[in-house]
Structure 1
Amino acid sequence: MAPRGVRVLRPNSMSSPTIESADDRVPPLSLPAGALSRSDRRYEYEVGVDPPDIEPIEHQIRLDFINGERIRADHLLSDYNHWTYDADDPSTDPWLRGPAKPNGLQFAEESCLNRVREEERFFECPEDSAVIADAPVYLAAQLEEVREHDDTESALEKARERRVNWYRESIPGKNLYQILKKSSYGTLIGGGKGPSIATAALTEDNVFEGIVVVSEDTDPKKYARQQNLPEEFVYRESEFSHTDSDPAPSIADFGIELPAPLLVGRFVNGSRYPFIPWGDGLTCFCPYKHDQAWRVMCKHELLASNICGFESSSIFIPKARGIDIPHRARRFVSPEIAATHRPTTN
């Protein structure tokens, strides 16, 4: 299970890659090592020191919703309590007696079960470093702890149970079902029903903008004038909604150097959250995403998945307004996982 507590990022031992914008008025985006693909030789990550990685299942779930039907108001649950859900009891599925279950959610549930099957090899060979090298970073760290435990067999079984429970119970019942409620995702979309609702409805009230974030000791208006940038697209981090809540991380926690060109979501409910390059994708900075271990998606990332699927048909979140930012600041999903993941249902 991937923890969501946030700690200050350690310094990188290798220089961070810098991505220039096509607009020379815009500062470069310096990526921390934890934002890179694991196949990149500059990638570095340490569990318990760096902020939580974006797990493979998170990328897969995003792809599942990108490839699924658009989530409409008539898909959403009116009333749901995760304590009533039991993965071993199909009758507790809240969509059985409610609205039609969106196929993106069905894809995501199947992806979770596939991950359980695919990761079994890591539990079968916890001593084989060549096998464990392919494991998600948090799981690899857990298996390393297992090897150091006095009762290895018992520790291994507990680690397996936690991991399986995360996939089978926590991700669906405590996370995805929760955000697929009228009181959650429903606050971001209109009340329209049926497939005929215009795709533009998703982005009429929810806008992704290209912006520059400057340090707290920088005057945004002065910086904008110096760089000849529109003042409305230059912000301090303290102007975003995530700084109002305790569980939320800061941009500095992720090793992003300011000033930085980033993507921000401006949502119909009045909130504004940046999407930060991390884990070969992007992570939303809303408090919901970062204060609980089992959460792999927030309602804003679900919206981004829907917009990617129905507006751009790609793994890049389309920018509706603002400054020209590097493509990496809009890349929502790992290209490596996108190249191999195929959404399926049982």
Structure 2
Amino acid sequence: MSCRTIHSADGSVPHLALPPGALAHIDRDYDYEVDHDPPNVEPIEHQIRLDFMRGGPVRRDQLLGNYNPWSYKAETPATHPWRGIKQKPRGLDYAEASCDVRIREEKKFYEHADDDTVLVDAPAYLAARIREASEQSDPHEAVREVRKDREKWYQELIPGANLRQILKESSYGSLIEKCIGPTPDANHLLEYNAFVGMVLVDDDTNPDAIAREHDIDSVYVLQESVLSHANTDEPVALADYGIELPAPVLVGEYDSGSQYPFIPWGDALTCSCPYKQSAPFRVMCKHELLASIVCGDHDSIFVPLTRGIHVPHRARRFVSPEIAVSHQLGPAGGRP
């Protein structure tokens, strides 16, 4: 597998070697294998980040308490937790509108399931499932099931089991617990949380030796195995994404004491935390929500560097530039 070498503006920092799946899909060297590579950063994932960036900070009184997000049903008002109780976060309103738009935009892929000139524009996972369904004994029924599952993802799993889950006091609330004020903005969020530029190395490499070789502060050179993502029940390493070590990456440090690298992937970044990595249907974790709000406050698709080494801009690019330019906010004021 060939890698793209990305250099930092600071020539002393080790280069970042990106696999084909971490490149923009319009890049001539982009390559993604649905059945072998980690889950891609789907178009809706980029769009939802933009939605929360533009939706502004989430207020404490908007967070949910003992709500069961798995009970959410789009067409059942009784399962909508903000109805008549508190104001729904604007970013979630925008995200739900984006999901509705995706359903409409993807309709053509099911209607032209046997036309590769149409499927070439479909998200990679969806295109693969449609092609697989088209080879079944009853292709029309198989494609219908693919569509049913996909639309359930947009209508219930993303807004309910995922976004309403992280918009709880026990989830995103844990990141803003010590922040001052009812509506923590980027300045307050970054008093207790940070985005740190680091060089990660493998267990066979001496961090101090790398620091001396590249003339960088040894505080910001760590073995990947000491970080939080490497110490979970099912750890996901940068190598699982094809990222070669040593690698200059952005690491989120949170008030809880956890440290999770952001992995360059799919023309963006994906958080390495177990919540995000253990379930492919999830398009956002609380750490990515925090990053979205901070990016929105900075009016940038790049996560700001709080401290540490100057990692390449690609290691901080949170949203695809192509999608950032084309994405239109949906109307707010949707489901309660």
For the criterion TM > 0.5, the same-fold answer is yes
Deviation at 1:97, TM superposition (A): 3.8
How many Å separate the matches in 1 of 2:235 and 2:110? 33
Which residue identity does 1:297 align to in structure 2? Answer: M
Structure 1 residue 222, shift from structure 2 partner: 2.3
Q: Does 1:27 align with 2:14?
A: yes
Moved segments of 4+, more than 6 Å: none
State the superposition RMSD in angstroms: 1.3
Q: Which residue of 2 aligns with 1:114?
A: 101
The 2-side partners of 1:198 and 1:344 are apart by 23
TM-score, normalised to structure 1, is 0.93
Contact 1:62-1:333 within 8 A present in 2 as well? yes
Identify the match of residue 277 of structure 1 among 243, 248, 264. Answer: 264
1:71 CA displacement: 1.1
Q: Measure the CA separation in 2 of the matches of 1:249 and 1:140.
A: 26
SS of 2:196 mapped into structure 1 = strand
Q: Distance in 2 between matches of 1:38 and 1:286?
A: 25
Give the equivalent residue in structure 1 for 2:60.
Answer: 73
- Equivalent runs, 1:300-311 vs 2, <5 Å: 300-310=287-297
Contact 1:77-1:98 within 8 A present in 2 as well: no
1:148 aligns with 2:135: yes
Distance in 2 separating the partners of 1:85 and 1:285: 26
Q: What SS does the corresponding residue of 1:325 show, helix, strand or coil?
A: coil
The percent of aligned pairs where both chains have the same amino acid is: 53
**2:295 maps to 1:330:** no
- For the pair 1:321 / 2:307, whether they are aligned, the reply is yes
CA distance in 1, matches of 2:259, 2:293: 18
Residues 231-262 of structure 1 show CA distances to partners (whole Å, capped at 9, x for unaligned) of 11001110110111123311101111111110
Distance in 1 (alpha carbons) for counterparts of 2:319 and 2:149? 26
Aligned residues: 331
CA distance in 1, matches of 2:115, 2:149: 21
Deviations along 1:170-208, one digit per CA (max 9) or x if unpaired, are: 00110000000000000001365545x554111011000
2:46 is aligned with 1:49: no
What secondary structure sits across from 2:106 in the alignment?
Answer: helix
**1:200 match: secondary structure:** helix
Q: Which residue of the partner structure matches residue 175 of structure 1? A: 162
CA contact (8 A) 1:77 1:180 kept: yes
Aligned counterparts of 1:199 and 1:58: Cα–Cα separation in 2:
21
TM-score computed with the length of structure 2 as normaliser? 0.96
2:311 partner letter: I
Structure 2 residue 280 is the aligned partner of structure 1 residue 293:
yes
**Where does the alignment leave 5 or more consecutive residues of structure 2 unmatched?**
none
Secondary structure of residue in 2 paired with 1:209 = strand
What is the DSSP-based 3-state SS (H/G/I as helix, E as strand, rest coil) of the residue aligned with 1:265? strand
| CA offsets 1:77-111 (integer angstroms, 9 cap, x no match) | 01110232111112321111432101000000110
C-alpha separation between the residues in 1 aligned to 2:215 and 2:285? 35
1:233 to 214, 220, 231: 220
User: 2:46 matched to 1:59?
Assistant: yes
After superposition, where does 1:132-211 map in structure 2 within 5 Å? 132-190=119-177, 192-195=180-183, 199-211=186-198
Amino acid in the other structure paired with 2:300 = S
Residues 293-346 of structure 1: CA deviation (Å, up to 9, x unaligned)? 321100000000000011x21100000100011100000000010010011225
**Consecutive unaligned residues in structure 1, runs of 5 or more:** 1-11
Are residues 192 and 74 of structure 1, via their aligned partners in 2, closer, same or farther at CA, if it must alter by over 3 Å?
farther
Distance 1:30 1:288 in 2: 26
Contact 1:65 1:104 in 2 (8 A): yes
TM superposition shift of 1:151: 0.7
Name the CA shift for 1:83/1:277 in 2 (closer, same or farther; >3 Å).
closer
Residue aligning to 2:231:
244
Paired position in structure 2 for 1:4: none
Residues 1:98 and 2:102 are matched in the alignment: no
* Equivalent residue number for residue 329 of structure 2: 343
Does structure 1 residue 222 correspond to structure 2 residue 197?
A: no
